[in-house]
Structure formats: structure tokens, C-alpha cells
Chains A and B, each alone.
Chain A
């Protein structure tokens, strides 16, 4: 049993995420995790070793070394592949409802909860 656990541990270490095995900065890893691998099934480029993921990682690293910030990199990739490539939707007019409505919903929910609570206390 101990042997099996040992081999499993070794296997686990060997199959460490591709991103961890290379020397990427924290910013690079953060951006990789937020970019969708377009040729994979539900994976970010951080999780993928596909040809596409490798190329985009390399482009992102180049952009960072050129002094581009995170937002500029997302904008660049969105302009080439559409908003779909970025996991976190950008805050723009078409996406505004998706950003604002959940907050409104929470605010109204809290108001509803507090109002009910107050009523219950008054009834007691």
C-alpha cells in the first residue's frame, strides 16, 4: 500500500501543471488562467499544452516584456479572437447588464430580508 501511495505521489509530481513546470511570472500565470484555449474543451491556456495554447502563452509573454498591461493584452486578444477568448467578461455596454444586475439583485434581496426581519420583530 505504501508503495502504491509512493508511486502515485511521484506520478502526481511528474504530471504537475505545465504552467508550474515553466518559469512564468505571477502576472503571466494570472493572464494564462483567464484566457480560454479555443481548441480545447473547457480549458484555459494555463491548463493546456496544445499548440494554440503554447503560441498564445508566448504572445502574452512578449506583450508583457513590451510593457503592455493585463487589460491591453486582453483587448489585443479580444480584437483578434472575440470576447469569448477571455473568461472574465469585460465591462462594456453590451455586458453592463450582466455586471450590474447581480448586484442589484443582492441589494434588493438584502432589503427584502431586512424588511421581513423587521416585520417579524414588530409582530412579536
Chain B
């Protein structure tokens, strides 16, 4: 192989290398994204119910309704913003809302619900925030819409707004 040929191959390899880096690098998602979770079944979890003080697991979830897991806390201002929409969502028959109270004081959480209304069919506690890691939560408010087979349909990062309400309503009632 002549020197020119070898150099040409070397430069060609370099170009392919740079191209590949950009090709794969630009395709890689550089942000936390929840798209990968959609379509998958929710993971196993253990959360304490406020009402009964029992541990609720994935197997305890009823398979007859759509479910919205809403992660919230009384100390979180955006949770107040989304609260009216959760109250509206509570009126949808086919949807059960599970409120997961995240790293909060239970007394403050109860007071929050007394003052603003309780949209939750089930109120669960995650005092340490560790159980929320099983759901891939990294901040609140965050909500996960699950179908009857416990498959994630959609995740909502940040407070639920009117557009999200409309979307959830159409997904559940269609």
C-alpha cells in the first residue's frame, strides 16, 4: 500500500469516525426525558396509604379504571396551580387519582387538602422520596397516566394545565 493510499484511508477513517460521533451523538437524548417510559408497565412499588395505614403495592391496583399518579407536596407552589385541574379530573368516572405525597409533613398535606379540596381517590405517602424513584420522578409536581393494564400512557412533568386536562379527559373517555 503506497503512502498516499494509506493516508487516504486514514483520512477516510477519520471522516467516518467524526461522522459516526455526530450521527450517534446527535441522536442521543441529552436531557431527562420520559418518552422511553411510555408504553411500559409501571414498576413494582410500595407506598403507605394515609387512610388505612396499609402498604399499597402494584398488585393492589384495580384493573378496571385508568389511573393518574400525581406526585405533590403542600410546600410546592406549582402543586397549588395544578390543583383546580386535579379537582376537575376527579369528576371523570373512568379515572382514579392516586395522590403521592412527596417528602411532606402529613399534617400540612391534610391541611392543604382541607383548604383546597381533595381530588384524590387514594392518598399515599412517600416521606423519604425513595419510592418515587421507582416511578422515575425527579421533581414535583409530576403525573403519570396509566391505563387499565397498568401501562404508562403519558407522563406530565410540571403542573397539569387546562391543555393537559383536556388531553387526559379525551384519552380516558375515548
Binding site for B on A (CB under 8 A): 38-39, 51-52, 55-56, 58-59, 62, 79-85, 94-95, 97-98, 101-102, 104-105, 108-109, 112, 115-116, 119
Contacts and interface: CB of A to CB of B under 8 A. Distances in A.
A84 B138 contact: no
B20 A101 contact: yes
Interface of B: 3, 6-7, 9-10, 13-14, 17, 20-21, 24-25, 28-33, 36, 43, 103, 128-130, 132-136, 138-139
B138 A39 contact: yes
B137 to A, nearest CB: 9
27 contacts: A38-B32, A51-B129, A51-B139, A52-B138, A55-B128, A55-B132, A58-B128, A59-B130, A62-B130, A79-B43, A80-B135, A80-B136, A81-B136, A82-B32, A82-B33, A82-B36, A84-B31, A84-B33, A95-B24, A97-B24, A101-B21, A102-B17, A105-B13, A105-B17, A108-B10, A115-B3, A116-B3
A115 B6 contact: yes
Contacts of A83: 28
A67 B153 CA distance: 33
Given A82-B33, A94-B24, A105 B133 contact: no
B133 A98 contact: no
Judged by DSSP, the binding face of A is: helix
Nearest to A95: B24
A102 B25 CA distance: 14
A62 B29 CA distance: 28
A114 B148 CA distance: 65
Contacts of B135: 80
A112 B6 contact: yes
B138 A38 contact: yes
B100 to A, nearest CB: 14
B83 to A, nearest CB: 21
A60 to B, nearest CB: 10
Given A82-B36, A98-B24, A116-B3, A55 B29 contact: no
Nearest to B126: A55
A55 B24 contact: no
Contacts of B43: 79-80
Contacts of A56: 133
A119 B139 contact: no
Contact of B130 (A55, A98, A115): A55
Contact of B14 (A80, A94, A105): A105
A84 B31 CA distance: 7
Contacts of B136: 80-81
B30 A98 contact: no
A59 B10 contact: no
